[in-house]
Structures are given as structure tokens and as C-alpha cells.
Amino acid sequence: APAPARATAGPHEFDPTPNLTQQFDGLRDHLAAKNPVETAVEAARAVKASANDALKAGDAAAATQRYKKALDILDDVFLRARQLLIGGEVLRHDAAHETPLRRAARDVFLLEAECWLNLGQARLAAGDAAGALKACETYFDLKDAPPSPARSAKAHFRAATALERLGRLYEAEEALVKAREHAPDDRGILRARQRVRAAREAKKAGVAKASFKGVFA
């Protein structure tokens, strides 16, 4: 007897063909997967925590490499994160409503700021004053991170420390003035400014003494 003809689905019936099933499975997997921005934030946060641990343990070289790695991870999603924040609609939600994805996009720029700031500290600990100053200057140039007086005070203080070690005392004192604007009650900043000012005065006195000796040489 001839094989019965395959029944076809009616206009309102579901046709579970292999191709259609695969398509739905793929869509489900896609929706279940995390957005690259969220994935990058989780990875960068873990690497940053590891860098913090290395810095606390006194391994400035490892900390430096890990902060740079975290920044590389974030660099891959900067454009996507910025588009999420400035777009008028995210995952069909009004821009005024917060979503996990928008929080992750903001965290990209927050983590970026924290990593550059901590990289400056790691380079100071490694004895790389020029590298520390460059990290602080990069931090100052960031435009997307949320403002933070505490972070700004740390950045200016670390820049001042680097400048002092480089012998650029006038600039170091200027940086400490800015640091104190963000943290007026911080005694460490006050002590550092007093030390730098004393070093400047001693340097001036030394130059004047040398010039005076030159007149009568």
C-alpha cells in the first residue's frame, strides 16, 4: 500500500520542522546569553579585584599588568557602552528607566576611571614616577566617568607624588592644592604640601647660595 501523505499544518497550527525548532533554540540561547557589555564588566571587575590584591601584597608589577588587562577588556566595549547610554531606547525600555544593561554600560566608565587611578598607584609603588603621572593625566582626561571628589583627590595626590619624585616641585604643589580642594580635611595632603613647599624653599636657597658664591669666585 502506498505510504500515507505527510499531513501539512493548517494556517493556525505549529509546524515543528527541524529547521524551525533549531531557529527557536538559537533564539532562546541568544536571549539567554549576556550582552557583551555585561560580560566585559564582570571580567574587568574580576581582573581589577585581582590587581588590587596584588597591589596590597606588594607585587606592583603584577598589579600593573592586571590593571592594564582590565582596561583592555573594557576598551573592547567602550563604543557599545556609549551607544547604550546615549540611545533613546534600550531593550524596548524608555531611556528614563534603569535596566541591568544600562547599569553595566555606566560601570564600564566607572571601572575605567578606577583602573587608571589604581594603575597610577601601582606605578608609583613600582618606582615608575613618569608612568604614574601619565596614568593620572589619562584619568583627568576621562569624560564619561561619574564625578567623584574622593577619586579626584586621590588622582591629584598621586600626580603630586609623581611630580615630586620627578623634581617638578612647583607642579607638585599645584597638584596638592587641587587635591585639597576635593578633600579639604585630609591631613595627608596638608603634610605633603608642607613637605613640597619646604623642598621648594630649600631648592631656592641652594640656588641663591650657589649664585652668591659665583659672584665672588
Cell of 78: 567602550
∠ CA 194-52-82, nearest 5°, is 95
pTM of the full predicted structure?
0.77
Q: What is the pLDDT of residues 86-134, one digit of tens each?
A: 864 444 455 556 788 889 999 999 999 999 999 999 999 999 999 999 9
Q: What is the pLDDT of residues 25-54, one digit of tens each?
A: 554 454 445 799 999 999 999 999 999 999
Q: What is the largest CA-CA distance in the chain?
A: 128
> In whole angstroms, how far apart are CA 44 and each of 34, 50, 99, 205?
15, 10, 20, 49
Q: Is residue 115 within 8 Å of residue 70, measured between CB atoms?
A: yes
Q: Is residue 76 within 8 Å of residue 40, measured between CB atoms?
A: yes
Cell of 137: 593625566
Q: What is the pLDDT of residues 85-95, one digit of tens each?
A: 886 444 445 55
